[in-house]
Amino acid sequence: MRVLVTGGAGFIGSHIVSVLEAAGHEPVVLDTAAGEGGFRGDVRDAETVGRALDGVDAVCHQAAMVGLGKGFEDASAYVANNDLGTAVLLEQMAAAGVDKLALAGSMVVYGEGRYSCRVHGVVRPGPRSVPDLDNFRFEPPCPLCGAALDSELVGEDAPVDPRNVYATTKLAQEHLAASWARATGGRVISLRYHNVYGDGMPRDTPYAGVASFFRSSLERGLSPRVFEDGAQRRDFIHVDDVARANLVALDALADRPEGELRAYNTGSGVPHTVGEMAHELAEAFGGPKPVVTGEYRLGDVRHITASSERFHRELGWRARVGFADGMARFANDQLAPGAGTAEMATR
């Protein structure tokens, strides 16, 4: 199978290219940093995308501006890179008759995830307020009674509730892909990535994920700075598992119903706190211990961990790299220079 990988020179994309080659497929790279044999260009450039699609059987769309970023002043850049770029790609796929798409989705579309109140059952807390965050009240309360909530795993059928610009653009990508599928008879699998880490992560960029922040600090001999109280829960998944997930999704597309988008949570299945990750990584690196700062980023969610059982049940995929092993590997991995807007960091 000949597969166009947008963002194929980036962090996740380059690992996908490697697993495709190992499986006997023919990856074609489209990236602003593509090397010899690939297509150097922007996914928003219709002419370049059209040329890159020549003879292609499927597309693995990784090119994106990722992470929470620096503030709302990045909004137009996120929309231009993620949503306009996806629209151009889908237009060119329709023109070329390419009907299979594996999309890099994100767990951020769920917002604050799933919570239950011991009195009111499953509830959806509102955005956390600045006064609460300034006073170190990080846990979202029950919107009905103000009581403490229990965080639970999110399934793919949960309501979506994007809480920042990046999350909004990732949901829009899915909507665009679903519209394309209905209009053309295409098939789409969206892999809603959790917090991806591993070798080749970009260093020292405001758009990188928390694992990259911590690893970059340790390289400079500094303590990782843990925001809030460190108890916020995430699901950290190694990039090797994410690359293999894309291979599974691409192989499964031929059997998907026409005109349909199917989403799969793509995580390790074992949540950890950000504080636990910082301590595990610092210990494996042999660097200074993390410092809990109480700082926060407005737009961050408190807990987001989702169940990946649908992916295992329907397509047989499951993460293989355990947390301790993955962090031990990451402590010795090489980081890439800080990247631009194409496939920059974790999702």
For the segment 228-277, what is each residue's pLDDT rounded down to a tens digit?
999 999 999 999 999 999 999 999 999 999 999 999 999 999 999 999 99
The model carries a pTM of 0.93
Lay out the sheet containing 26-31: strands in order across: 39-40, 26-31, 2-6, 58-61, 100-106, 187-193, 260-266
For the segment 166-202, what is each residue's pLDDT rounded down to a tens digit?
999 999 999 999 999 999 999 999 999 999 999 999 8
Q: Please state the separation of Cα 273 from the chain's center in Å.
A: 17
Q: What is the dihedral of CA 104, 235, 195, 149, to 10 degrees?
A: 100
Residues in the chain, overall count: 347
User: Using CA atoms, how far apart are residues 26 and 178, in angstroms rounded to an integer?
Assistant: 26
Name the residue among 153, 145, 172, 138 with its Cα closest to residue 297.
Answer: 138
Amino acid 341: pLDDT: 38
